Structure formats: structure tokens, C-alpha cells
Structure 1
């Protein structure tokens, strides 16, 4: 009996060692960068692999390993890396796909569809645009004492939690497209000092990068106009040359599609914002009801031209980020003349945002 138990324990130990040995061969790709190789249409795929140096039972030192290869598709390039680099690449836990601006201008989603060919599909990684030298960025080991992958993913995670940026998970784009029209906005990163920073969003039309961007403030307004709840988003601006800061407590957006003589005439977008006022550049923290009513008017007057500018930018690039074409076709099919018709109408169609602000609470109210 004792011999049988001893043999069983030995088998279990041997099995554990074998599994541990196989695990050590796995290379977990944290970030994948996609660009063109020089002036060709061959893809240059960079992989940032997360690993531990001096690994032990108590942990180890996090580290990034950079590998790069070229291929006709992402799958092809990663397959070549497997042949050229010891270990087995696994993309199941890939958290970020970064694409260059050059690659983004040429139907990137068609190439990214090949991700579905991987045995383990990394469908929940972020998708973002990098407006700089992608290889130079991904070769970095650390930024601000963090590994490159932790820093990049952390930028997106933190701002996503604050509700300031679109979600942009890759599953949204490789499974059925982004919407009625393949128009969307991807989070944009750019070089900054010795590292990188978030810099608003890049606008896409028909799945291609337009080369036009929205800055951080305009991205926030675009998201509110797109119907996000906006909870705890920070809004800043000026009233009477004095800065104000407010937190969005709730946002409600609605479309009003108007016809004239049986034809689409204009679209009004109403945006109601409930705000918690943090500061308003006033000498006294005591706000009377009349003061708050006046502040509501002033903040509305500050936000309205900004929202109008966002709509104008979207129309100028013919990017229907708000999917207004879908609204017209779904709820007013008699007014909708088809996608080609919409592409012609959208840039010049009167689209007017209407902003209404209500301050819920602030400091001390007399």
C-alpha cells in the first residue's frame, strides 16, 4: 500500500514538472503593433512579450521582450516569428493592438480580420492608433518606471474608467463591423517627451483613417453626443474669462429628425447635461439660485459652439461617427435614399446640437 501511494505521488510530481516546463515555453504577447514594411504593402508586425526576470516563488521583475517580423497577414508574420524565435507565441492574453497612421489609412480592418484565424482569439484587446514611429515606441523597455505594455494599457484603462474615451475593443470591429456605416473613432496616442500620451481620437470613414483627429475635449463632447451616460466625466471651460470645472452626473441625448415636403430637412441633437459644479472662478463659494441660473446659461453658451464644432468636423470629413444615417433609415425609412445618397447628403445636411445644462448641487447654496 505504501509503495502504491509513493508511486502515485512521484507520478503527480513528474506531471507537474512537465506542465511547468511547457508553460515556460509559452511567450505571452501583450501588445501587437502593425505597420507597413517600408514603402511596400507587406505587414511589419511587432510583438511585445511580457515576461518575468529572476522569477521565483515570490514573483520576479516584470520585463518586456520585443520581436518583429514581416508577412502578408498578421497571422503569417506571427507564424514566422514562431519559427525564428525560441518558444511558442500565444496571443490569447493580448491586451492592445496598435496600428500606425499609414496602415490605418488602408482598410486596416480587412487585415485585422485574420486574427480570427488564431487558435486562441484575442478578441478583447484594445485597438488604437499611434501617430509616430511604431517600432521605435515598442522597442522601449520602460516608460516612467513601468514596463512599456503596462504603461500603454494603463493609459487606456484609466481613461476608460473615467469615461473619457471610447471603449474600442477589437471584437467590435472584426465581428460584423462597427455599425450601419463603418465610421468610427479610435483612441489616438502620440509621442510625448520621452514617452507617449493619449491625444484624443482618430476619425475613420468607411474603415479608413481620414487623417483628421478630435482632441481630448472634442472627443468627450462627441461621446456625449453619441449617447454615453457621461457619469463623472470632467468638463472644463471659461465663462466671463474665468475657468469653470464640473462633473457630469447624467447626460441624455436625443435625435429629432425633421422633414419638409416629404424630404429630409434637418436633424437636431438635444443634449441635456446634469452637472455638479466643482469651481466657477467666483470669489465667493456661496451660490444663490439666481447665480446658478446665470451660470447654467453661461456654461450652455460655452458648450454649444464646441458641440457645433464637433458636428462640423464630422461632417467635413464625411464621418458619420454618431450613426445618424442609421437613425434616419431605421425610424424614417421613407426619407432615406440609400447609403450612397446619405454620403452625399450628410456633409451639407443642417445638423444642429441643442445643449441644456442643469447644475444639481455645488458648495453652499443660499
Structure 2
């Protein structure tokens, strides 16, 4: 018995315990980070929570976050330089959003992402966005309403927008790196803009009025080739991309009524199947999209109890959706020659031997690629009223 106790005590000497723990009062918790390039140096910004303002009992009504910035020849050096201003070491373990300035994105983002991908303290589930026509620092310097922590606003807005509107796309660090290194797919990242006056936007005054002087708004997708930003999609192109890449959760699309006026279709489910083929030695893809939706609004005089009318609305939607998708694909193909759809990966899945022959020359192959796009809409519900009251309105 004594030998057993002695053995336990002996081996307990080799237990490490929490040797590397750090108390919360020793850390500056960063919830958003921005990367910019100024001349030949990286400018790194960290939006850090102010503990006394976040706590339930404390708080003086001041901003719940503060912004630290530093520059360096590398991103890692800039992070360490922040300790010249911050009383605590920047801790990125609760990072929610990374904002990349447009200027840096045009030069290339791979080197700036390296430090985050290798840091064991960083969880890769934060979202990455690109600041459009403005620096990342200016984006992180804007105060926001409803969500007093701007990083929370950006994170939640992107979540909500992606689920309710097909014009944005969330992408985390692991997904982005996967797209950057893939032979058959290029990256596409949602853009974010500052609307209004940036000077007022950084002050408390911005959140004290019903209509803020400055606000953050998500824009369309940024197109990358390799790790460099090469341009921006339009709204129709962004929506078409979302359907093709099977990322649509829900959205609404207006269509023309059979004679005059508009109706709106609420898309509640969408599933895209992409199949790669080799036809006469040339690659092509078939994209079949199955869509289910409801009639969200009717701004024309039609009888939605009539099955023929419903069928006609479905055909109108399908024709318009196919036109938008084909126009978007041709525009992206000619303007950017960037396979953000992952069609190369589809060719690889279906014809691995042929793909190995063409993958090193995929840019040229993609520029001549044929996409066969087909949409099938099924309208499930027409709403709580059987007919529109517009017929009863006297002209």
C-alpha cells in the first residue's frame, strides 16, 4: 500500500497542470482584425473589447470597443508592436471577423493570412470580408447601432443576410485557404462598404440618432484569381453565383406577370447539381437547379387559384433565372476568366484522367468552357388569401 502511494506521488511530479494559462485581465480580446497595406508595410488594426463596458455591472456609457493599430514589415511584427499602445497582449482566440483592405487584396492576401493560419490561439471559424473602396481600419472604426460591438454586427449581419438573401456569402479562414490552393476553383469573398460620413461614423454621435451618419453595409462578391483581387460582381452576378454554387438558403426574386405588373417569388429551398463532362475533347458542365418557392407578393391582376397561371409564373421565373445565370457566367468568364464556381473541381470528379491533362492549362480551358444551365421551379404556396384585392380597386 505504501509503495502504491509513493508511486502516485512520484509520478504526480511530472504532471504539467495549467502551466500556460493566462488570466482574462492580462489579455486584450480582439473580436475583429483588419489588414491593410500602406507603402511597403502592413497596417494591422485590432478591434478590442473594453472589459469595464462589456460587464453587466460596470459601464459608463462609453464605447464597448477600442481600436489599436500598428504597422510592420510583416503582420506578425505589427501584432507585437501593438503592445507599445495596448496595456495588454492582443488575444485573437475570440476573433469573429477579418477585414482585408481593397488595396492589400489587389496585391495579394496569402502572406497576410499565414500568421492567422499557423497561430494555435486562433480558431479558424471567423468570417473573412473585403473592404470595398476603403481601408479595413476605417471599417473597424465605425460605431454601430443595435449591436454595440461592431464585430458582432458584422458577424451577425453576414449570417442573417446569407440565410435570407442570396447576395452575400460567408467564408471562414479554412474555406478561403482551400479555395486559394485549389487547382479547380478560385476564391470569392463578400465585400463590405462604409455608407456615409466616416468622421462622424467613428464617434458616439453616430449611434445617438435614428439615422446614423455612417453605416456598414455588405456589398457584392469580390473575385480573386490566385490570391489577388481582380474585380467585383454585380448584384445579379452575385445571386447567380449563389445558385450555381449551391449556397442559397432563402431569397426573393421579382418576376414579370403574364401581362403587366410584378410578382415576387420567395425561394425557400434550392439545390444545384453540377456535373462535369468532356465533349469532343472539350470540358463542359451541366448545372441543374431544383427550386421550391412561395408567392410572396402579387402586384398584378392574376388569378392565383388557376393552375395554368401558376404554371405560367413558374415558366417566367425559370426563363428569367436562366437568362441571368448565363449572362453572369459569360461576364465572369470574359471579364475575369476566374473559375469561382469550382467547375474545374466538377471536371476532376467526373473525369480525373482528362482533368490531369488540362489542369495546368485550366485558365485557357475555362475561357472556352460551355455551361448548360437549367432551372426547375415548383411553387408550393400562394399565401393566406386566394386572390389579390388589386382586382377590386377602382381605377
**Short-chain TM bin:** 0.7 to 0.9
Q: Which residue of 1 aligns with 2:8?
A: none
Return the alpha-carbon distance in structure 2 between the equivalents of residues 241 and 69 of structure 1. 58
Of residues 218, 223, 226, the one that matches 2:242 is 223
Alignment of 1:251-290 (within 5 A): 251-261=270-280, 263-264=281-282, 266-283=284-301, 286-290=304-308
Q: Which residue of 2 aligns with 1:16?
A: none
Alignment of 1:137-152 (within 5 A): 137-143=139-145, 146-152=148-154
1:27 is the counterpart of 2:28: yes
Q: CA deviation at 1:173?
A: 2.7
1:185 is the counterpart of 2:188: yes
More moved, 333-342 vs 126-135: 333-342
Return the alpha-carbon distance in structure 1 between the equivalents of residues 287 and 272 of structure 2. 7
Q: Which residue of 2 aligns with 1:166?
A: 169
Q: CA deviation at 1:141?
A: 3.6
Return the alpha-carbon distance in structure 1 between the equivalents of residues 366 and 96 of structure 2. 35
Return the alpha-carbon distance in structure 2 between the equivalents of residues 247 and 79 of structure 1. 49
Return the alpha-carbon distance in structure 2 between the equivalents of residues 328 and 315 of structure 1. 17
Return the alpha-carbon distance in structure 2 between the equivalents of residues 177 and 145 of structure 1. 32
Of residues 265, 279, 289, the one that matches 1:246 is 265
More moved, 73-82 vs 355-364: 355-364
Q: Which residue of 1 aligns with 2:114?
A: 113
Of residues 338, 341, 351, the one that matches 1:322 is 341
Q: Name the CA shift for 1:70/1:265 in 2 (closer, same or farther; >3 Å).
A: closer
**What SS does the aligned partner of 1:338 have?**
helix
Q: CA deviation at 1:206?
A: 1.4
More moved, 182-191 vs 140-149: 140-149
Q: Which residue of 1 aligns with 2:88?
A: 87
Give the gaps of 5 or more residues in structure 2.
1-21, 197-213, 388-395
The answer (yes or no) to whether the contact 1:30–1:149 under 8 Å persists in 2 is: yes
More moved, 203-212 vs 109-118: 109-118
The answer (yes or no) to whether the contact 1:289–1:365 under 8 Å persists in 2 is: no
**What SS does the aligned partner of 2:328 have?**
helix
Return the alpha-carbon distance in structure 1 between the equivalents of residues 342 and 219 of structure 2. 23
Q: Name the CA shift for 1:78/1:182 in 2 (closer, same or farther; >3 Å).
A: farther
Q: Which residue of 2 aligns with 1:157?
A: 159
Return the alpha-carbon distance in structure 2 between the equivalents of residues 188 and 167 of structure 1. 10
Q: CA deviation at 1:181?
A: 3.3
Q: CA deviation at 1:334?
A: 4.2
TM-score between both structures, scaled by the size of structure 1: 0.84
Q: Which residue of 2 aligns with 1:305?
A: 323
Return the alpha-carbon distance in structure 1 between the equivalents of residues 29 and 52 of structure 2. 14
Of residues 364, 368, 389, the one that matches 1:344 is 364
Q: Which residue of 1 aligns with 2:44?
A: 45
More moved, 118-127 vs 28-37: 118-127
Q: CA deviation at 1:205?
A: 1.4
Residues 93-145 of structure 1: per-residue CA shift (max 9 Å, x gap): 01110001111122202320111343411311110000113333322344577
1:359 is the counterpart of 2:379: yes
Q: CA deviation at 1:231?
A: 3.5
Q: CA deviation at 1:271?
A: 1.6
Return the alpha-carbon distance in structure 2 between the equivalents of residues 55 and 310 of structure 1. 45
Q: Which residue of 2 aligns with 1:200?
A: 220
**What SS does the aligned partner of 1:146 have?**
coil
TM-score between both structures, scaled by the size of structure 2: 0.78
Q: Name the CA shift for 1:81/1:343 in 2 (closer, same or farther; >3 Å).
A: same
Q: CA deviation at 1:347?
A: 1.3
Return the alpha-carbon distance in structure 2 between the equivalents of residues 231 and 211 of structure 1. 25
The structure that is strand-richer by fraction is: 1
Give the gaps of 5 or more residues in structure 1.
1-20
More moved, 270-279 vs 41-50: 270-279
The answer (yes or no) to whether the contact 2:180–2:187 under 8 Å persists in 1 is: no
Return the alpha-carbon distance in structure 2 between the equivalents of residues 315 and 34 of structure 1. 29
**What SS does the aligned partner of 1:346 have?**
helix
CA RMSD of aligned residues (A): 2.6
Return the alpha-carbon distance in structure 2 between the equivalents of residues 231 and 142 of structure 1. 27
